[in-house]
A and B are shown apart, each in its own frame.
Chain A
Amino acid sequence: MAHEAAAGSRPVPPVGGWRRDVELPSERGASRLVMDELLEQLGLHGWSPTDIFGIHLAAEEAIVNAIVHGNKLDPAKTVHVSCQVSPELARIEVTDAGPGFDPASIPDCTLEERLEVPSGRGVMLMRSFMTRIEYNAKGNGVVLEKRREPQAD
């Protein structure tokens, strides 16, 4: 009887948690193609519903911005989304094929005179709900990171 090599016969959880890279079409609603799985993985890795809400909101805002403002809904362009989830870290990188923008150019939506302007809140929500957000130099890519608070004993 021939012995089969054991390698690969048993599924091993990937080191560093779950990862997924996807190319999204520049269509409204395309975030759904990765979001359901991201939310499921956050739950499987023990993230709280409150944390999941914040990560969901930040990721949704980043992807919508990339599709609508970055790629301007151009069907020839895609948005690259790279996700990584472990019990300690959720990291979502969103890169569009647009020319980029200067995130410092967004006016502060909480200024008294801008409170009733109906747009321009996405980036502020990303910053508030995540531990760190960072745009690349070109301004067409953003990294969102949330680190899990150490659990109290």
Chain B
Amino acid sequence: MSDHRRIAASKVGEVTVVRFVDKKILEEASIQELGAELFGLVEQLNRRSIVLNFTDVEFLSSAALGKLITLDRKVKAAKGRLKMSNIRPEILEVFQITKLNKVFDIRKDEAEAIAAFQ
């Protein structure tokens, strides 16, 4: 299961915490891989409580936003919950401009995101 190249997934209780390998998420090929790995958490590994921790992410493009939106839809369709945390101000601005902050459940840090599953 741990043949991930774009993410590092760990479990905290029942919650799957995902960190990103790439500081800059913008190359088309790596975004495709990232998407496949994220979707696999839901579709193959049946994870239903997921936190995406953005602490290492400095940059992401609109193509990466597309993968996050699709992941959010897949998790919701599977009756799971997805939360995002540790998003730096510039990327938060991207979410605000595109109004994705209304779609995504965004928390300040990982601890707050995990606690929100209780």
Query: Which candidate, A90-98, A110-118, A131-139, is the interface stretch facing chain B?
Result: A110-118
Does any Cβ of A come within 8 Å of B29's Cβ? yes
Chain B 46-90 interface mask (CB, 8 Å, partner A; 1/0): 000000000000010111011101101100000000000000011
Does any Cβ of A come within 8 Å of B8's Cβ? no
Residues of the B chain whose Cβ atoms lie less than 8 Å from the Cβ of A60: 26, 61
B-contacting residues, A59-101, CB 8 Å: 60-61, 64
Would you call B90 and A54 a contact (CB within 8 A)? Answer: yes
Q: CA–CA, A29 to B59, complex, Å?
A: 15
Decide yes or no: A57 and B69 within 8 Å by CB, A109-B98, A110-B99, A116-B103 being known contacts: no
Decide yes or no: A125 and B94 within 8 Å by CB, A57-B61, A115-B100, A118-B66 being known contacts: yes
Residues of the A chain whose Cβ atoms lie less than 8 Å from the Cβ of B26: 60
Residues of the A chain whose Cβ atoms lie less than 8 Å from the Cβ of B100: 115
Secondary structure call for the B interface:
helix
Decide yes or no: A124 and B98 within 8 Å by CB, A28-B27, A28-B29 being known contacts: yes
Would you call B59 and A116 a contact (CB within 8 A)? Answer: no
Q: State the Cβ distance, B71 to closest chain A Cβ, in Å.
A: 9
Q: Taking CB as reference atom, which chain B residue is nearest A127? A: B97
Looking at chain A, what size class is its interface with the partner chain?
A: 20 to 34
Decide yes or no: A29 and B62 within 8 Å by CB, A115-B99, A117-B69 being known contacts: no
Does any Cβ of A come within 8 Å of B33's Cβ? no
Would you call A122 and B102 a contact (CB within 8 A)? Answer: no
Residues of the A chain whose Cβ atoms lie less than 8 Å from the Cβ of B61: 57, 60-61, 64, 122
Does any Cβ of A come within 8 Å of B14's Cβ? no
Q: Taking CB as reference atom, which chain A residue is nearest B69? A: A118
Q: CA–CA, A128 to B96, complex, Å?
A: 11
Residues of A at the B interface (CB closer than 8 Å) are 28-29, 49-50, 53-54, 56-57, 60-61, 64, 109-110, 115-119, 121-122, 124-125, 128
Residues of B at the A interface (CB closer than 8 Å) are 26-29, 59, 61-63, 65-67, 69-70, 72-73, 89-90, 94, 97-100, 102-103
Q: Which 5 residue pairs spanning A and B have beta carbons closest together?
A: A118-B66, A28-B28, A121-B62, A110-B99, A53-B90
